[in-house]
Amino acid sequence: ITAYVNGQYVPLAEARVSPMDRGFLFGDGAYEVIPVYSRRAFRIDEHVARLANTLAAMRLANPHGAEEWKAIIGEIVARNPWDDQSVYLQVTRGADTRRNHAFPGPEVAPTVFLMSEPLVTPTAEQLATGVSAASAADIRWLRCDLKTVSMLANCLLRQHAIDKGCAETVLFRDSFLTEGAASSIFVCKDGVLLVPPKSHLMLPGITYDVVLELARTHGMAHEVREVLEAEVRSADELWMTSSTKEVLPITSLDGQPVGTGQPGPMGRQMYAWYQEFKQ
């Protein structure tokens, strides 16, 4: 596996960053996960733009312009052996000589790290049966729109699902749906696709945008509005979406069947549109 650290392409096993790196000490960094199909990075402009937004909100100067980012990502894809990949990209505020919460001076350069893994999308069996989810209160901070590496809450929330034998945790804040621990959540009720609007309480998912675009293009009824916990619990279908999970049906929530307990027709339709679109 070839990785990239601050301008150098190196075997992942030889990649090194300092323990003084603020990503390590403070979780002070931004990241992206970009799916690659047949050696083409999917929605790369949108991922690079979201990274720029996260860095701007962090007040960290973007070390590369969009074209440079696309070249580095392309090089990582080319130097790794798989046609379908999941490229991980991280930028931290770099390594200072002292531990200090406040930002370092301009002499400290950000740390840029990329690696790639084989892309693992849901199995045929997961698609056929759907996956189980647990729910939990959304204990994260108030800037969930930023894709930062400060991920302790997300890790705790995803582990909550695993401990319950589930694949994902569906998060509620004040009785409203936000998203999943590492995915966006869509709800189908009476033939209408429902999803909460983008806000500081959720990540603006790249897959979220693709799904809404596909719903618009193909004329699937949809509403972008606040979704009540009660509506999630009485949904006909639930889906989780992300760059690696694509569109995956959730067929049980907290041990209760979602709708019929089987993947539903709207999810199958959206999955098919997504598969066609991603090529």
Tell me which residues are annotated as active site: 147
Give the closest residue to 192 by CA, choosing from 219, 213, 171, 210.
219
Q: Could you tell me if 153 and 173 are in contact, meaning their C-beta atoms sit under 8 angstroms apart?
A: no
- Of 107 and 174, nearer to ligand PDD (C-beta) is 174
With residue 9 as reference, give the H or E element that holds it.
strand 8-11
CA angle 86, 90, 94 (to 5 degrees): 160
Residues that bind ligand PDD (CB under 6 A): 33, 154, 179, 182-184, 203, 205-208, 241-244
For 84-113, the DSSP string reads: SEEEEEEEE--B-SS--SSPP-TTSPPEEE
- Of 96 and 179, nearer to ligand PDD (C-beta) is 179
- Of 15 and 144, nearer to ligand PDD (C-beta) is 144
Which neighbouring-strand residues pair with 239? 186, 249
Q: State the pairing for strand pair 131-137/40-41.
A: unpaired
- Shortest distance (Å) from residue 260 CB to ligand PDD: 26
- Shortest distance (Å) from residue 177 CB to ligand PDD: 12
Which neighbouring-strand residues pair with 259? none
CA end-to-end span of the chain, whole Å? 24
- Of 115 and 206, nearer to ligand PDD (C-beta) is 206
- Shortest distance (Å) from residue 104 CB to ligand PDD: 26
- Shortest distance (Å) from residue 97 CB to ligand PDD: 31
